[in-house]
Amino acid sequence: MIKKYGLVKAQLLRKNKNYQFVYRVGKSYANKMAVLYVLKNSLQQHRIGFVTGKRLGGAVIRNRVKRLFKEAFRLNQAKLAPGCDLVVIGRAPVVGQSQAAVTQSLMDLCRKAKVLL
């Protein structure tokens, strides 16, 4: 049986107030390519949001960075413990990196944050 690895809108943080709450109350973990904010929630699933600042470059570059992190999360979401909100902030060294490097970076952050199963 083939396992589905899709993302649904319910798994994405959409509202600014949700991001701000995770920033204020959550705990942060960082490495060279990204910063990860983690906050436990009362839901049975994890929610994630992606942030890229204008320092990274133009819209094309920022959107590519978000797509790379989204794909890394999508493929590894089964390895994450449910019930937490995550916010991933891309840093400048992530620009131009491969999918494998971005995935490794995100998984290292999740390991630091102890949200892996």
Parent domain of 60: 9-113
CB 51 within 8 A of CB 91: no
Which residues, 6+ apart, have CB-to-CB distance to 10 below 8 Å?
45, 47
* 92 located within any domain: yes
pLDDT the model gives residue 8: 87
pLDDT the model gives residue 2: 52
pTM: 0.91
Q: What is the pLDDT of residues 34-58, one digit of tens each?
A: 999 999 999 888 899 999 999 999 9
Q: What is the pLDDT of residues 57-110, one digit of tens each?
A: 999 999 999 999 999 999 999 999 889 999 999 999 999 999 999 999 999 999
* 3 located within any domain: no
* 70 located within any domain: yes
pLDDT the model gives residue 106: 97
* 29 located within any domain: yes
Structural domain total, the chain? 1
CA angle 87, 40, 69 (to 5 degrees): 25
Q: How far is CA 86 from the centre of its chain?
A: 6
CA angle 38, 43, 47 (to 5 degrees): 45
Question: Rounded to 5, what percent of the chain is helix, strand, coil?
Answer: 45, 20, 30
* CATH number for position 73: 3.30.230.10
pLDDT the model gives residue 96: 94
Q: DSSP code of 103?
A: H
Q: Could you tell me whether strands 84-90 and 34-40 are parallel, antiparallel, or unpaired per DSSP bridges?
A: antiparallel
* 4 located within any domain: no
pLDDT the model gives residue 3: 60
What average pLDDT does the segment 26-32 reach?
97
Which residues, 6+ apart, have CB-to-CB distance to 104 below 8 Å?
none
The answer to whether residue 27 scores a pLDDT higher than 80 is yes
CB 107 within 8 A of CB 73: no
